[in-house]
Structure 1
Amino acid sequence: MESLRMIEDWPVPNAATAVVRGADGAVLGAHGPQDQLFPLASVTKLLTSYAVLVAVEEGVFELDDPAGPEGSTVRHLLAHTSGLAFDEQKAMAAPGTRRLYSNAGFEVLSEALAKASGIAFADYAAEAVFAPLGMTATLINTAHRSPAGAGGLSTVTDLAKFAAELQAPRLLDPSTVTRATREIAYPGLSGVLPGFGHRRPNDWGLGFEIRSDKSPHWTGTTSSPATFGHFGQSGTFLWVDPAAGLACIALTDRDFGPWAAEAWPAFTDAVLSEVRR
């Protein structure tokens, strides 16, 4: 895919990307070092969320089990509606009333899973998600880093397998993935989309940001409202556009900033245009 060569013009030391087709998980195109290990930052939240959803299906706990501040549940934590602050376990609002994007909430979430399962979160994620998908290079280092973001490391090769799973689930019932990625959790709540400011509403699923009609946005101007995924502060993203039937991963080693807010939407539009031709 010629559009993928656009990453060569990004002001970053290293970048890698791939496009994955939904129907069969085939990699339609790839560019850059596919097996280089990159820090994922908040793209890690997608992996954390998937591990949590596996735990729900396995009966480790339920979405409406208490977790976090008083009145909060596993569902609230996944949807960034627990009321916890961005980076500290301090309640700023009643659960279900505001979309407060919270790294602290995902830390609490991983702790709740570890407590309920009796397995360290990083080990649970590796056994429940990474190993079955053959994601041999991926890890979440919770010893010194957070499962909310900074602890995730992966490659484009591994994330392409995860992107295929999101489009044709094998580890989860497809209806679970549909609810997590297509259905807005606590509709109508406003909040801050990191890097892009306040959004009314700021739609989110269960761990997955849902694009809806947010503008500006880190995906493309031609991305469908059903597009879901996440971007990371380390200059990374993974989106799935169900209308286009494909997913895209891009990993870099330069922190998110104005360069990414400008480059990523144009890149996404070019990818979608090339596939649709």
Structure 2
Amino acid sequence: MPLTADCPPWDDGSVDTTTFAATADFPHTALVGVTGPDASLAVQGDSHSVMPLASVTKPLTAWGALIAIERGLVDLDGPAGPSGATVLNLLDHTSGLPFEGDQPQRAPGERRIYSNVGFDALGAHVAEAVGMTFPEWMASEVTGPLGMSETDATGRPSAGARASIGDLLIFAREVLRPTLIPVELRNLALDVSQPGLRGVVPGYGSFDDNQWGLGFEVRGTKHPHWMGDSLPAQTAGHFGALGSFLFIDRSRDLAAAFLSGVPFGDDHKRIWPALTDEIVTRYGD
């Protein structure tokens, strides 16, 4: 019998309820989940505990925008945000908008400037196009259809959602095997958009080729980085300022999520590369 939202894979007795060695000396709650394309593979901690996603909200917001694009309600190349910018520029952090604030720092397409306000502008643009608030759109077209009952996407489109590890793994499976958008549009989101642009990854520094897709960071060859060295360059994901991450490794049909609910800091930077490598070693074959 297929697993459903009423019979989640982490409750059917088949999932590995495990402890990851990399988190042994992490001084905070460490909720970790690993999934393949069809079912969860491992969960550490309470899979139903809801925590803030911080900027891991952005991939969810991007999915909502991509659904609107697929339905012809939003044009990827249509104007949005500051003068001269497009929906694409908002999605791949090339609109010129700063991290916070409303004054552009660059012309669109010149630099990769990681922007919360850009994603908030994206949410507002989608809401206007679809004729409902962005939280209503997300509930109607993303979290509802996917059965993400432990997700609250009523906060800022850039960083305001809350969810459980269980729900993040549901979303990860959607990214691995999309049902709400065509696989070609999924690939556009996870592949590098406008390569060769310099930019900063918050907490990790400036890179000459700061690779991003549409709502997802692409690992590339960045070093240092929150993903371990065993993750291939095309791995896509996101981390958040409240100690959260999500990564999608299409080469292994593997995804994983992490929630801690505490501000990102040295402890996260210390354990995340080892943890992501451990996940790949244990579940990536």
User: Identity of counterpart residues, as a percentage?
Assistant: 41
1:173 aligns with 2:182: yes
Please point out which of 88, 102, 113 is paired with 2:101. Answer: 88
Aligned twin of 1:152 = 161
Aligned twin of 2:228 = 220
Aligned twin of 2:20 = 4
Aligned twin of 1:251 = 259
* 8 Å CA contact 1:4, 1:29 repeated in 2: no
Aligned twin of 1:207 = 215
Alignment of 1:5-44 (within 5 A): 6-12=22-28, 14-22=29-37, 25-44=38-57
Shift of 1:242: 1.4
Alignment of 1:98-247 (within 5 A): 98-142=111-155, 146-149=156-159, 151-182=160-191, 184-247=192-255
* 8 Å CA contact 1:61, 1:116 repeated in 2: yes
Aligned twin of 2:8 = none
SS at match of 1:162: helix
Aligned-pair Cα RMSD in Å? 1.2
Alignment TM-score, normalising by the size of structure 2: 0.92
SS at match of 1:30: strand
* 8 Å CA contact 1:60, 1:116 repeated in 2: yes
Distance 2:22 2:107 in 1: 44
Distance 1:235 1:175 in 2: 31
Please point out which of 49, 54, 61 is paired with 2:67. Answer: 54
1:262 aligns with 2:270: yes
Aligned length: 269
Alignment TM-score, normalising by the size of structure 1: 0.94
Distance 1:197 1:276 in 2: 29
SS at match of 2:78: coil
Uncovered stretches (5+) of structure 2, i.e. residues with no partner: 1-15
Distance 2:88 2:276 in 1: 30
Aligned twin of 2:110 = 97
* 8 Å CA contact 1:224, 1:241 repeated in 2: yes
Residue deviations 1:211-269 (CA, integer Å, cap 9, x gap): 01111111111111111010000000000111222000111121111111110000111
Shift of 1:154: 0.2
Distance 1:262 1:169 in 2: 32
Compared CA separation, residues 141 and 8, structure 1 to 2 (3 A): farther
Distance 1:108 1:32 in 2: 35
Distance 1:62 1:5 in 2: 45
Distance 2:21 2:43 in 1: 9
* 8 Å CA contact 2:124, 2:134 repeated in 1: yes
* 8 Å CA contact 1:7, 1:16 repeated in 2: no
Uncovered stretches (5+) of structure 1, i.e. residues with no partner: none
Aligned twin of 1:70 = 83
